[in-house]
Amino acid sequence: MGEFDLIKRYFSRKSLQNEVILSVGDDCAITSISAGYQLAITTDTLVEGTHFLPSISPAALAYKSVAVNLSDLAAMGATPTWVSLALTLPEIKEAWLAEFSQSLFAILDRYSMSLIGGDTTKGPLSITLTAQGFLPENQGLFRHQAKVGDWIFVSGFLGDSAAGLDLLLQNRKIENESDRYFIQRHLHPTPRVELGLALRAFSCCALDISDGLLADLGHILERSQVGAEIYLENLPLSHHLCTQYEQTQAEKFALTGGEDYELCFTVSEEKREEMEQVLRSQGIKVTCIGQILPATSGLNLLKNGKKMALPTHIGFDHFS
């Protein structure tokens, strides 16, 4: 099977949106954007051995490749629309491709997205996706827009994905419900698209937690030129994490583990109560974990009012 046969068999189908004028099969895809909207664009590369283990199934790999890009769009408050896929394969395995493409289109369909182009090459296994989404003008969530006095929130639970990766790296036998839950949270994170859309009415500042809460929150503090305090007792830790790990390890996973793909965002005092009511009515779990302070305060960890030391290693860095 050649490159173009591979594309035609596994990755070509009619686009879902009217805005897609030309899709897979030409030198470029052609799309249109409605008046009053901007285009949010994100790219993520997943490399075997760095972002995923060789043992990952093609279905899980396809899902996670899309999910991490959806998480970026969610963090901006954008509505997902299209993706482009660059797939590098060491060899053509039709069973692998069939499972990968079926899972890929399943998650794209779930979020009404279209695959509009990409590339296929031979080499070590890696996947690069570029995802695009519509964002109404002047309604985006940006890292540089946190204000002193804002409350810091996170969605979902933190640390579960790091626990799942810990299990996989140790090659431990999966023995109970909690182990299966951790693995699921690592391989199948939930992109918080609905939350990102809802936050456009209440927040101006958000990002997704991919490298660890402290590392990613640090990007907000740097871009917004502010400080923050985090209340450790408020960290949203799942029942599974609290029962399977000591408190200090659970907190470490939550603060520095990464790959939760939850949203961290800020909300003003004036909009906090309304936001909590709206999200509660929609069944979206969010937790207030701290507050934005002046830049001179830096980043502080507090536990029941007592200042705690920052971890030496605060998150994932490709080159550290």
Section 56-72 average pLDDT:
96
What whole-number percentage of the chain has pLDDT above 90?
79
* Pair 86, 119: CB distance under 8 Å: yes
- The answer on whether 166 is annotated among ligand-binding residues is no
**Which CATH code, of 3.40.50.720, 2.60.120.470, 3.30.1330.10, 2.70.98.60, is assigned to 3-136?**
3.30.1330.10
- Predicted local confidence at residue 173, as pLDDT: 81
Contact 164, 244 (CB under 8 A): no
Q: Is 259 annotated as a binding residue?
A: yes
- Fold agreement between 3-136 and 150-308: no
Poorest-pLDDT segment among 25-29, 48-52, 204-208, 243-247: 25-29
pLDDT digits (tens, 9 = 90+) for 125-137: 999 999 999 999 9
210 is in an annotated binding site: yes
Confidence of residue 319 (pLDDT cuts 50, 70, 90): very low
Whether 113 and 168 have beta carbons less than 8 Å apart is answered as no
Give pLDDT, residue 82.
93
Question: Quick one: three-class SS letters along 10-58?
Answer: HHCCCCCCCCEEECECECCCEECCCCCEEEEEEEEEEEECCCECCCCCH
Lowest mean pLDDT among 27-36, 94-103, 259-268: 27-36
Q: Is the domain 150-308 a CATH 3.90.650.10 member?
A: yes
Q: Is 143 annotated as a binding residue?
A: yes
Residue 128 annotated as binding? no
Least confident of 67-71, 157-161, 312-316: 312-316
Residue 263, pLDDT > 80, answer yes
Whether 243 has a binding-site annotation, put simply, is no
Encoded tokens for 140: 């985006």
d(CA 320, CA 316): 8
Tens digits of residue pLDDT in 8-18: 776 776 666 66
Closest to 114 (Cα-Cα) out of 212, 30, 202, 237:
30
Confidence of residue 1 (pLDDT cuts 50, 70, 90): low
Q: Where are the domains of the chain?
A: 3-136, 150-308
User: What is the predicted pLDDT for the residue at 167?
Assistant: 93
| Residue 216 is assigned to a ligand binding site | no
pLDDT band of residue 317 (cuts 50, 70, 90) is low
186 annotated to bind ligand: no
